């Protein structure tokens, strides 16, 4: 069980749940294929999965965030492939306002003693699963800033080829965190085939890098509209699966 320094919450409180952070290594070319021109591959080729339950604004939102290592104009960060969440109210407005790639997803995430379980499903397909156990608390890292890249874009009304009402722009999300508590996990991450969330196909796991529970304190978050992307070069990336950035066709999986 957690030591006496672990965060304390009121029984049943939805606030201050730890986030389940999973990192694995994939092939660099697999990440590069998903990055639109203007977002560059990093020196590393990691996929980051964050499974969470946070209050939005005062009701629980269960979700999974999928990002990949990526740089923009020399700044190291991550490119967001998708936020699979179970709150319908936040999906459309988040993408419309900020380009945040949210889509509907069902997430099971809980801890029982030292056992941690998570499963994420969409359109009847479970595409991510983790089962593990807590090994113990580790030293908190220093406060840090995470840089995340989204894309805000709107195709032209009527769907004319290579036409936009708002051409693609990078959205820069800079979040500052303090680590309150961190516990290392030992367990197995499993990716499964899904036409709606093709993580196993497009970002196959070559090595499981790390797994931990992370309780952060949110010190600040800035969301800013950055530079435009080449609209013609971006066109092959404009069609996605739902609100994610997975490549799609007319809002769903690509026809085979």
Domain that holds residue 115: 19-237
Domain contains 45: yes
- The answer to whether position 5 is within a domain reads no
State residue 12's pLDDT score: 79
> Among 8-17, 107-116, 172-181, 224-233, whose mean pLDDT is lowest?
8-17
pTM of the shown model: 0.95
Residue 246 counted as domain residue: no
pLDDT at 4: 67
Residue 244 lies in a domain: no
pLDDT tens figures, 60-69: 999 999 999 9
Buried-state track 171-190, b at ≥16 Cβ within 10 A, e below 16 = bbbebebebebbbebebebe
Q: How many domains does the chain have?
A: 1
In a domain, residue 41? The reply is yes
20 pLDDT more than 60 = yes
Check residue 231 and give its pLDDT: 97
State the CATH number of the domain containing residue 223: 2.40.400.10
How confident is residue 48, by pLDDT bands cut at 50, 70 and 90?
very high
Is residue 1 predicted with pLDDT exceeding 80?
no
**Residue 9 falls within a domain, yes or no?**
no
**Could you tell me if residue 11 is inside a domain?**
no
**Digit-coded pLDDT (tens) for 108-166:** 999 999 999 999 999 999 999 999 999 999 999 999 999 999 999 999 999 899 999 99
Whether residue 48 is contained in a domain is answered as yes
């Amino acid at each position: 069980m957690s030591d006496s320094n672990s965060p304390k919450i009121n029984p049943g409180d939805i606030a201050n749940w730890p986030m389940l952070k999973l990192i694995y290594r994939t092939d660099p070319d697999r990440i590069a294929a998903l990055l639109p021109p203007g977002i560059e591959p990093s020196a590393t080729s990691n996929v980051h999965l964050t499974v969470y339950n946070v209050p939005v604004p005062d009701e629980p939102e269960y979700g999974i965030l999928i990002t990949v290592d990526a740089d923009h104009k020399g700044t190291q960060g991550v490119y967001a492939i998708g936020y699979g969440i179970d709150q319908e109210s936040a999906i459309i407005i988040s993408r419309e306002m900020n380009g945040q790639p949210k889509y509907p997803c069902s997430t099971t995430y809980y801890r029982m003693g030292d056992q941690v379980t998570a499963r994420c499903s969409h359109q009847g397909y479970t595409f991510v699963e983790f089962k593990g156990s807590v090994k113990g608390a580790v030293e908190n890292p220093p406060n840090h800033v995470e840089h995340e890249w989204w894309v805000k874009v709107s195709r032209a009304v009527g769907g004319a080829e290579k036409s936009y009402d708002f051409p693609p722009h990078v959205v820069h999300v800079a979040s500052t965190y303090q680590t309150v508590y961190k516990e290392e996990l030992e367990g197995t991450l499993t990716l499964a085939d899904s036409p709606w969330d093709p993580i196993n196909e497009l970002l196959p796991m070559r090595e499981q890098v790390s797994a931990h529970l992370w309780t952060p304190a949110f010190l600040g978050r800035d969301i800013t509209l950055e530079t435009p992307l080449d609209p013609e070069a971006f066109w092959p990336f404009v069609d996605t699966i739902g609100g994610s950035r997975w490549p799609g066709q007319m809002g769903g999986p690509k026809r085979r």
